[in-house]
Amino acid sequence: MHPERISAQFFLYLYKPNALAHTTLTTAAKAAPPDSGYDYHLVGLGSSTGGLQPLMTIISGLPSNFRAAVIVVHHAPEDAPDELAQILQAVTALPVVEVETARRILPGHIYLPAFGKPVRLLDHILTVGERPAGQKPNRTIDSCFRSLAREGGEKSICVILSGSGYDGVEGAKAVESNGGLVIVQDPATAKFPLMPIALIANDDPSYILEPQLISDRIARQVGH
């Protein structure tokens, strides 16, 4: 059992007692992951309520020579002020780029798709689509993670942070199935732990970590 998972066992016991055994599953029997056409890693950060502070902590800890493209999907109310780019740019030397329609991604950059809209990555082009009117629940994190899994394969990394709901679970499964890395914020450190708990209970995350340890783990995976 990963030592990083111990602090989350209590939450799993409360919310899904039978899920404790699931955290010890291995990947030995999984099929070989597909080859990636990328020479850099793809990182997806998914967050919702209570996720801003963990986002800032992780992004501020990434090195200035970080060789990965980062896509941030953050749930926010439609009437919330759109200041996330400025907030994140204040804590990192990496360029923070807002994406309204489409943009070619590059390593060493952080991309912020328009709030509440699904994204698709294909041949290094990040495209922001339209979410059907009235569609609930919000699945924009799932759409991002699935796209990273298809494009990046072993070079895909997804992270689930504080939030209410279940968005990200299916996308994280796709990342895992394609040989990527799945990291979840330790529910004990999350202001709203439902999203981390849902992922732990329904998937086999590679690591369960406090936010201040996540950026270091990502950087080591990428090669810094």
Domain ranges of the chain: 39-75+89-222
Q: How far apart, in whole angstroms, are the C-alpha atoms of residue 207 and residue 124?
A: 27
More confident residue, 36 or 220: 220
Burial (0-12, 13-18, 19+ Cβ within 10 Å), 118: buried
Which percentage of the chain shows pLDDT scores above 90?
69
Tokens of 179: 């040989």
Per residue in 156-200, pLDDT (tens digit) is 999 999 998 889 999 999 999 999 999 999 999 999 999 999 999
Q: How far apart are CA 33 and CA 152, in angstroms?
A: 10
Residue 39 confidence class, pLDDT cut points 50, 70, 90? very high
pLDDT band of 10, cuts 50, 70, 90: very low
The rounded mean pLDDT for the chain is: 85
How is domain 39-75+89-222 classified at the architecture level of CATH?
A: 3-Layer(aba) Sandwich (3.40)
Q: What is the mean pLDDT of residues 49-70?
A: 96
pLDDT of residue 22: 37
Q: Rounded CA gap, 99 and 115, in Å?
A: 10
Q: What is the largest CA-CA distance in the chain?
A: 46
**pTM: predicted TM-score of the whole model, two decimal places:** 0.84
Quote the CA–CA distance of 136 and 216 in Å, as a whole number.
Answer: 34
Please give the sequence-ordered ranges of beta strands (E in DSSP) within 10-90, or none if there are none: 41-47, 68-74
